Structure 1
Amino acid sequence: MTAIAATPAPTRTAVASASTPRKLPTWTRLLIQPLVVAVLAIGVLVWAFSRDLTLTQQASVSVGNVAHVTWQHIVITATVVAIVLAVAVPLGTLLTRPGFRFLAPVFVGIANIGAAAPAIGLIVLFYLATRTTGFWIGVAPIAFCSLLPVLRNTILGYQEVDPQLIDAGRGQGMSTWQVLRRIEFPLAVPYILAGLRTSLVLAVGTATLSFLVSAGGLGILIDTGYKLRDNVTLVLGAVLAVALALAVDWLGALAENFLGPKGLR
């Protein structure tokens, strides 16, 4: 009788590679995303400016007005991120120190409220509490909404540091401050940057509501287009907001790849 050769069973690696979709390499994604942003932004601008606009539309869809509200949106986002970093990173560092760790659930819970509450509700509440409008009334609630990712990741980053590395630093005569600055913080940076990337995208998206309190931003175009049934202005504002969100997400990805410790990239 002729022996029938047994077919070798597929290895776990082969099965995994066949069933798991391949991810694009990091560099490929970093190159594709800005191209998508450019196509979206340039495409919608060319489309909007080439339309036969009415006098009302010309007031909204003009180079000066579009540039102005886009700049307002960028300034709001940058201010929010600066506030979040200035509050969340030092606070997260403090909450991982002995003697303050018991307070971590309290502050994370407060930040959770900001993340869970509807942004439009917080903006209205800030307005009702202050009875005023303007830039800071738009920025403050957005910063509160964007606080959690950076605070939580800062705490997590310090918690993930190997205690043996801390002991080794102390064994070399480092002070508590030196251990924090040279060992703990650099190793926590990748986690902080990941949280920052999330906060950036949250800030850009939520900033479209800042027009409600006269803080400006691309939400003005969206609101104007909706109220006047002007699809050109509406689409222009919406697509530019999406393009800006993708742009800041790309910047966050760049920061994750280039600002972390060299050994962890």
Structure 2
Amino acid sequence: MSAPTSDDTTTQPAVTEEYHAGHRRSLAGYLVMPGVLALACLVLYVYVSQQELDSIEARSLNAATLTGALWEHVQLTAVSTVLTLLIAVPLGIVFTRPFTRPIRSYLITLLTLGQAVPTIAVLVLLAVVFLFLGFWAAIVGLVLYAIIPVLLNTMVGLEQVDKAVLEAGRGMGMARFTVLRRLELPLAVPVILAGVRTALVINVGTATLVTYINAGGLGDVIVAGLSTNRVTIQIVGAALTAVLALLIDYLAGIAEDLLRPRGL
């Protein structure tokens, strides 16, 4: 397997359709997804209410249990994504600086190979070797898994900035940091935000696995259904995870539209 170069990364950015379209969606476009998700939740509620639940199912599917698991899942996703941004964006900036060019491809290869390790393996390693359990152990695993999309998109976004724009900024007397802050990062925002959306969806799905290290989330509901062979519980846990992933991606899309510099 050959090490990817910086040119390789520019061919596979996680850029959304809205970015290619170059314009914000209409009001109707913003209302479609909430309507679909609300309908999905209604169908799920009707399905569960028509089932004759036994004591185990009733205990797992009551409002308090589901709300608590959903809130834990949101916390896991939010905290891990914030930490991912704090790590990946500065790393992406550093990796696009000229002094890292000789080792850049090797660093990216190392990080990509690290992402290839299954998340459950990382969580088990934390639990067995380091006796690291609970919320923060889950955060470590989620950050390690989600860092690559944000890192690569940060690099792609910065490398796609027109060099003539940067030269014009330097010609106006801007320092390197000023060029980065006022020109490079704003112009790279659409691609970086696309990577953030990818990381958010990855974290929502991967967070279902942290139940195995006692970190909570909707994975508790799914595993409860699996361990007791209750299909209804499994369906509810999986459906809520899917709805949450779509909702977070939708909200991230709105943020992407609002934060995109005008004219891009």
* Same fold per superposition (TM over 0.5): yes
Partner SS, residue 98 of structure 2? coil
Partner of 1:36: 36
Question: Equivalents in 2 of 1:122, 1:136: separation in Å?
Answer: 13
- Matched residue, 2:244: 244
Please identify runs of 4+ aligned residues in structure 1 that moved more than 6 A: none
* Contact 1:72/1:216, CA 8 A, preserved across alignment: yes
How far apart, CA to CA, are the structure 1 residues paired with 2:83 and 2:41?
A: 28
Q: Residues 93-104 of structure 1: matches in 2 within 5 Å?
A: 93-104=93-104
CA deviation after TM superposition for structure 1 residue 29, in Å = 4.4
Q: Which runs of 5+ in 2 are unaligned?
A: 1-20
Query: Following TM superposition, by how much is the alpha carbon of 1:132 offset from its aligned partner in structure 2, in angstroms?
Result: 2.9
Report the secondary structure of 2:129's partner residue: helix
Query: 1:196-254: per-residue Cα shift (whole Å, max 9, x none)?
Result: 11111100000010100000010111111111111221111010000011111112221
1:77-88 equivalence runs, <5 A:
77-88=77-88
**1:104: how far off?**
2.4
How far apart are 1:164 and its partner, in Å?
0.7
Distance 1:185 1:102 in 2: 23
* Structure 1, gaps ≥5 residues long: 1-22
Higher relative contact order (CA 8 A, sep 6+): 2
Q: What is the count of residue pairs matched by the alignment? A: 241
> 1:8-19 to 2 correspondence within 5 Å?
none
Q: 2:126, 2:133 within 8 Å by CA — same for their partners in 1?
A: no
- Relative to 1, partners in 2 of residues 1:260 and 1:213: Cα closer, same or farther, differing over 3 Å? same
Please tell me whether residue 131 in structure 1 is matched to residue 164 in structure 2. Answer: no
TM-score (norm 2): 0.86
1:205 correspondence with 2:211: no
- Which is higher, the Rg of structure 1 or of structure 2? 1
TM value normalised by structure 1 = 0.86
Does the Cα contact within 8 Å between 1:221 and 1:233 map onto a contact in 2?
Answer: yes
CA contact (8 A) 1:108 1:151 kept: no
- Structure 1 stretch 253-262 or stretch 71-80: which is displaced more? 253-262
Matches within 5 A, 1:55-134: 55-134=55-134
- Alignment RMSD, CA only? 1.7
Matches of 2:254 and 2:168, distance apart in 1: 32
Amino acid at match of 2:151: L
**Does structure 1 residue 231 correspond to structure 2 residue 228?**
no
* Overall identity of the aligned pairs, in %: 37
Distance of aligned partners of 1:46 and 1:120 in 2 relative to their CA distance in 1, 3 Å threshold? same
What is the CA distance between 1:98 and its match in structure 2?
Answer: 2.4
CA distance in structure 1 between the aligned counterparts of 2:227 and 2:155, rounded to whole angstroms = 44
